[in-house]
Structure 1
């Protein structure tokens, strides 16, 4: 073969070899690329999938809670601020505090609140007025009513005859509990005593301070607060004890129940997981408050519920509890039945139905 032909053959072979090698290389690259994509889809999620999962994880149900500045609000302390008792990641809680239930119940009915802490009998009234649009989730406060006075002559409930009694809470637990106790202890609440109803407990303290002959019916922690604010004031009668004695005398085992937590029925139906999470969080919060008085008192003060120093002294006497399920139904229905027999209007004119009690 001549030199020129040999050179042309070599160049032709070089081009064919280069093209073949390039084709093989491209095939390997495509194969590796396909394998790489398969690993992403079968192994770690793509960036889009990860972002979607993270969005789902941080979605929370908003739970708007109304509470009174007293024992019911105090029981929420473990869920407020930095939530020392811990709260569920599935709920985002917000709180509306008020001095009286009248400020909160319209917000609940109108859908501006999802849950609310209210006097026990008021829960039954709301149930009747809204035709079942509210449910009771739990009992949160037992008896907290005391008779506070400077007058040394008051030693028992019978000694209230002829006295002027100031109190807040007309149309709710304080009024009906007082009437029940007076009537069953031989005192006519309409003729044997003078009852002056105030809009807030602070007004009762002012009346007691202005006139030493006045007798005040106050719930905790306001009864404890009165001892430091009114010279010579003392807790003369624990009405929770009187209730138990009176109930026993008339053959009843009904407890005095001050407060409950209610929720809009529609909210409960639409958000069962959030309600279940709240029940756990609230139970833990109440345990925290009762077991960690000093820390809880500071949170209560910081949140504007009541003064921290007063809370520290009062928590042991506030009967803050968490009673749910069948036990709640049994105790609450017994209490409401007692009120109904004494004054049907106190529970809205009729006993609530089975759907009033949240048992899930």
Structure 2
């Protein structure tokens, strides 16, 4: 009798566990997937802002947790340790991470080039007048720095000799303020600072469109300045949620481009940038959504260009096709 009771007890426990497991899995399945997404404080993050609407609810199955960071460094660390699932990053930063073994994939290009060389005093009228001049560049290793060196190399010129690249002021906003005040003559800046300085000081003119010059030397229309990346881990665990996030991002880009005033307010609300700066710049920021497979030729051309003068700028080698989702 004791053996029978023992057997029945074990059987009952087994049945309870067996029935509880599907219930537990069903409960998990009913909970929305939480996607942790990082964007930069600046134009790199503009196109993502609609992901913050409705407290990040993409649909009944997916919630986007959008966080704004001041620079890529913290984002890189959090992607590497698994705290983040998606991020908007400068394109070469994505290549660097991949080459250093961080398991990420480019899901889409979300921003094309938006750099210009500006002159505050009329001393230069076009890019040919830059020979022998000093141009303020925001920070060594930044995208403006890389593009300046690349274009000089392609033109057979030498940075520091034929054109001096001045890094004495690292912050784009400080360079913009000095340009407005006429304290510096020439600077390369991205949007929204280009729009800002030209609105504040009508004497300031664009003397070189970096996108146009890049197109001439690279043979492609533009360069991919920023990308949306996703971790391999998230893609493998949640393929449907991944697609939902990408669809929502594509819709966000379209909404921002179509509604710059409302987008500017939303951009300020989540801490990316003040609306007064963002709104007038949005039409000139080249915000796009191009899937990684469609954008691959342009991305690879950009990496090849960067690699030709500075392999370290993309992590030492050309990334393989595995980088692209």
TM over 0.5: yes
In the alignment, what sits opposite 1:262?
A: 229
Does the 8 A contact of 1:114 with 1:263 survive in 2?
yes
In the alignment, what sits opposite 2:203?
A: 232
Larger radius of gyration between Structure 1 and Structure 2: 1
Does the 8 A contact of 1:120 with 1:257 survive in 2?
yes
How far residue 73 of structure 1 moved from its aligned partner, in angstroms, is 0.8
Query: 1:93-242 residue pairs with structure 2 within 5 A?
Result: 93-129=64-100, 131=101, 133-197=103-167, 198-209=169-180, 211-230=182-201, 232-242=203-213
Q: What number of residue pairs does the alignment pair up?
A: 303
How far residue 245 of structure 1 moved from its aligned partner, in angstroms, is 2.2
In the alignment, what sits opposite 1:307?
A: 274
**Aligned-pair RMSD on alpha carbons?**
2.6
Does the 8 A contact of 2:58 with 2:64 survive in 1?
no
How far residue 233 of structure 1 moved from its aligned partner, in angstroms, is 2.6
SS at match of 1:297: helix
- 1:64 is aligned to 2:31: no
How far residue 157 of structure 1 moved from its aligned partner, in angstroms, is 1.9
Distance 1:128 1:57 in 2: 35
Distance 1:153 1:64 in 2: 48
SS at match of 1:168: coil
- 1:82 is aligned to 2:54: yes
Question: Which consecutive residues of structure 2, in runs of 5 or more, have no partner in the other structure?
Answer: 1-22
For normalisation by structure 2, the TM-score amounts to: 0.84
Distance 1:74 1:208 in 2: 24
Distance 1:271 1:57 in 2: 11
In the alignment, what sits opposite 1:253?
A: 220
Distance 1:187 1:158 in 2: 12
Distance 2:233 2:154 in 1: 40
Does the 8 A contact of 1:300 with 1:306 survive in 2?
yes
Distance of aligned partners of 1:272 and 1:139 in 2 relative to their CA distance in 1, 3 Å threshold: same
Does the 8 A contact of 2:113 with 2:211 survive in 1?
yes
Deviations 1:267-295 (A, max 9, x none): 22222122111110000000111112222
SS at match of 2:82: coil
In the alignment, what sits opposite 1:356?
A: 323
